[in-house]
Structure 1
Amino acid sequence: MRSVRYITVLLLVSLASCQTVLEPDPVDLLVDELVLNEPNDVQPVRLGMYNALRGTAASTIIAGDFTADYIQFNGTFTDNREFGNKQITAANSVVNTLWGALYRTIYVANFILETLPGVAGVPESTRKQVLAEAHFMRAWANFIGTYTYGDIPQVTSTNQAANRNIGRTARATILASVLADYQAALADLPAVAAGSTNVTTNATYLNKATCQAALARFYLYQRNWAQAETLAGQVIASGIYALETNYSDVVLKDFTRESILEVGYSLSDDPGTTATSLNNLLVGRREVIPSNQLITTLVSTEAGTRRETIGFNVQNLRGSDNGWSVRKYGTASEDNNNIVLMRLAEMYLIRAEARAQQGKITGAAGAVADLNVLRTRANAPAIALTAQADVVLAVERERVYELAFEGHRWYDLVRTGRAQAVMSAFSPNWTSRFELWPIPQSEIQQNPALAGKQNPGY
């Protein structure tokens, strides 16, 4: 397992406007020198853990949407050509970046879980909350890791020598640990009152509803429809979050009322020039652009105002460039350069899918009602389907309209068993091996326990 070299700590303080973010200068902490000996050490290490989570965000969006049918290649970089042409290799730098970011998050979470219980003088309420946050972060990273790479090493300590020689652990075991960590987090994360206007509490930092939302997604992937419906319903009913009246606010603003978990950037640290910067890839260099198929979908009447996810500029229209770009990820000086990891609309879609799979189709507590909440917000025509199979497919389409370029598409197609049918029609290069990303080649070379253990086909 790669030795994690540094964590950049950044304190995010949201002002009353809910839009401006102030941050102090970054503080580099060598992981080998992380200090958690006294109460004053808790906050810096805690913020380092949140920053580690932030490091996973862009690569997770790339995994979810670049691997699938949302993009076509339009640039010069080999990594992006692999995504566009569906010829992904184990040497792809983004494959490596996400792996490293996930295990960096796990490492800092493990450090807190190992060390904080023995630190004297920490208020018990603080200790319980930060330990709960560490459980959540480890669960989040392992969940993404196993659904991206398959069986992954289960790292539960900060012993770096041992961590460099851990083999692959079965997904079922990883997911059991994810559930245990989420349940531990749920018990001690703070509750937030309905109608709270403190978006830093609601979206930047974890609370019980954040964990309920993550569990709703967990149970959806597990096909535990009853639990997915219940957890998503609890988040919806909590009153903490509200759908924005105008979908354009979801695209063009940070820290909206429906944001459940969001990672923020400021003028001083926006990753506008990094290899995985979404603005750089999607808007600046336009290394990848929305696929023609997705454009047709998003500009349809069925999508309603969700078409605002993408925009057209005739000056970009040349050769194979269709002139379209993604609008969701702005520059450092714009008000939409954050990355939203969960928002309320997803909870409606989770509940709709769970209800549809249980045969709860019509009526106030049916899947169609949940879909129409989002369609009404988007000024799209209401649907009136009654057949279960039709509603399940309607949920899939609605997730495209509502969640495009938020990192869900590839994971959705794989978990529903639809990847081969959809993706083979999209690209002649698609094969079933792309239902998992490869283990990064550098990890295969550095970790003896991974030698000869690559995913099939890579």
Structure 2
Amino acid sequence: MTQFIRYSLAILLISLASCQQVLEPQPTTLLVDNLVLNEPNDVQPVRIGLYSALRGMSAPNIMAGDFTADYVQANGTFTDNIEFGTKRITATNGIVNALWGSIYNTVYVANFILEKLPAITNISDATRKTVTAEARFLRGWANFIGAYTYGDIPRVTTTDPVTNRTVPRVAKATILASVLEDYQAALADLPNVTSASTNATNNATYLNKVNCRAAMARYYLYLKNWVQAEDLSTQVINSNVYKIEPEYANVITKDFISESILEVGYNLSDDPGTSATSLNNILVGRREIIPSNQYVSLMISAESGTRRETITFDAQQQRGNDNGWTVRKYGTASEDNNNIVLMRLAEMYLIRAEARAQQNKITGANGAVADLNALRARAKAPVVALTAQGDVLLAVERERIYELSFEGHRWYDLVRTGRAQAVLSAFSPNWNNRFELWPIPQPEIQQNSALTQNPGY
């Protein structure tokens, strides 16, 4: 709980587009205790800091979704990664701590903006509304991740250090209600976009009404509100702001593609490189974590189509417990695929397919199978012809593996659908149902007497 109020923490304010600047002014370094929002010229640097906080949350969020589940096996010497690969996660795990800290750092910067911006004069109403809406959205986004990762978490609504020092956990349902409140407030004031109004990079980098609706579609899917999940995902699909890439290879090898709904970017000067939260470093450079044998078998089957290109094989790496397989999605600073995609249009088709299947809308142009086959056609995979609801729901689960793997969904999917215990206990003898929630980081419990630990840790 103290991570976001450790005032020695530096937020690097950088441009968000890969190999190009998309936010002005030039990047600067800003200390959290020196956040300044006193005049119009301060608004843009603090806004950049808000987006930078989102970037800091992105890599550990991907690790939570995919390292906790059945996609990976341990292949290195770092304790944090071994714990995920062998399913022996502890409250002292550094990645567990990093995600918590980045969540509350994002909440802190959002709260700072919401507290200070109303007092700033001589800025346009459009700027005030947009920046306020961005802060509301990203606070909601952070709390959504926190609630589905840790369960009951503190609800932090101020930057006051005394108040924040001993904030207790509140019910997950309370946090999720606040997420919806933030999303709805953001939706009202975020700018609208059309396919012709701006380019793909801006559509994925900046928040707007359409990518807010995409986040809300995911929100309602997790809450099992199938009608709202179907409606919002349909709105995003029909907006024509985002378009399915013709070739799946572009999803793997390119940044800021046409179907990217929300994406955080890096350039040569700010790529995380060899840091502990660099996905390229962990998955490719050091190979601390490698694709599991079970995952490889699924991905190289004909059912995945061109999605098999998510991973690649190198016989030179095959030795000992190393199966020679590597994830391709996260490149180095000099490559054109080192960004992290947080939402893309394919997910909207899968959200709609699941929501439709749950409502027993199976066949026809407006049925779940049509949405699955739209993605399978792009991937040159065999079409499916299913009619039973249970079969379609399992097909959606598999399609989410083929289409979205290593984008941070798998563990969250298994937990929200009640499938985690069956799938992951078969995957690892060390799996325990306590891992359906991450532990509260031990350093936070030691520094915040109001925090309690999740059961089993």
The equivalent residue for 1:7 is 11
Counterparts of 1:274 and 1:22, CA distance in 2: 23
The equivalent residue for 1:276 is 277
* In the alignment, structure 1 residue 31 sits paired with structure 2 residue 32: yes
Counterparts of 2:281 and 2:178, CA distance in 1: 36
Counterparts of 2:96 and 2:189, CA distance in 1: 34
Provide the alpha-carbon RMSD of the alignment. Answer: 1.1
Question: What are the residue-to-residue correspondences of 1:298-377 with 2, within 5 Å?
Answer: 298-377=299-378
1:179 to partner: Cα distance: 0.2
- Structure 1 SS opposite 2:158: coil
Counterparts of 2:296 and 2:327, CA distance in 1: 10
The equivalent residue for 2:244 is 243
* In the alignment, structure 1 residue 21 sits paired with structure 2 residue 28: no
1:122 to partner: Cα distance: 1.1
* In the alignment, structure 1 residue 97 sits paired with structure 2 residue 98: yes
Please identify, of 418-427 and 2-11, the stretch whose mean Cα deviation from structure 2 is larger. Answer: 2-11
Determine what percentage of the aligned residue pairs are the same residue.
71
- Structure 2 SS opposite 1:217: helix
1:196 to partner: Cα distance: 4.5
1:30 to partner: Cα distance: 1.4
The equivalent residue for 1:457 is 456
- Structure 1 SS opposite 2:155: coil
The equivalent residue for 2:212 is 211
Unpaired runs of at least 5, structure 2:
none
1:20 to partner: Cα distance: 3.7
Counterparts of 2:406 and 2:197, CA distance in 1: 28
Question: What are the residue-to-residue correspondences of 1:30-109 with 2, within 5 Å?
Answer: 30-109=31-110
1:197 to partner: Cα distance: 5.0
Counterparts of 2:238 and 2:196, CA distance in 1: 12
Structure 2 length normalisation: TM-score? 0.97
Q: Is the 8 A contact 1:195 1:241 kept in 2?
A: no
Q: Is the 8 A contact 1:258 1:343 kept in 2?
A: yes
- Structure 2 SS opposite 1:402: helix
Q: Is the 8 A contact 1:195 1:239 kept in 2?
A: no
- Structure 1 SS opposite 2:12: strand
Aligned length: 451
Counterparts of 1:115 and 1:269, CA distance in 2: 28
- Structure 2 SS opposite 1:29: strand
Counterparts of 2:186 and 2:177, CA distance in 1: 14
| 1:282-314 residue CA offsets vs partner (Å, 9 max, x unmatched) | 000000000000000100000000000000011
- Structure 2 SS opposite 1:429: coil
1:160 to partner: Cα distance: 1.4
| 1:77-111 residue CA offsets vs partner (Å, 9 max, x unmatched) | 00000000000000000000000000000000000
Counterparts of 1:61 and 1:21, CA distance in 2: 24
- Structure 2 SS opposite 1:21: coil
The equivalent residue for 2:292 is 291
Runs of 4+ in 1 over 3 A off after TM superposition: 22-26
| 1:412-448 residue CA offsets vs partner (Å, 9 max, x unmatched) | 0000000000000000000100000000000000001
| 1:252-284 residue CA offsets vs partner (Å, 9 max, x unmatched) | 000000000000000001001110100000000
Structure 1 residue identity aligned to 2:149 = T
The equivalent residue for 2:403 is 402
The equivalent residue for 2:191 is 190
| 1:64-89 residue CA offsets vs partner (Å, 9 max, x unmatched) | 00000000000010000000000000
- Structure 2 SS opposite 1:250: helix
Q: Is the 8 A contact 1:316 1:323 kept in 2?
A: yes
- Structure 2 SS opposite 1:448: coil
Counterparts of 2:255 and 2:102, CA distance in 1: 23
* In the alignment, structure 1 residue 129 sits paired with structure 2 residue 97: no
Q: Is the 8 A contact 1:201 1:207 kept in 2?
A: no
| 1:373-400 residue CA offsets vs partner (Å, 9 max, x unmatched) | 0000000000000000000010000000
Structure 1 length normalisation: TM-score? 0.97
1:118 to partner: Cα distance: 1.2
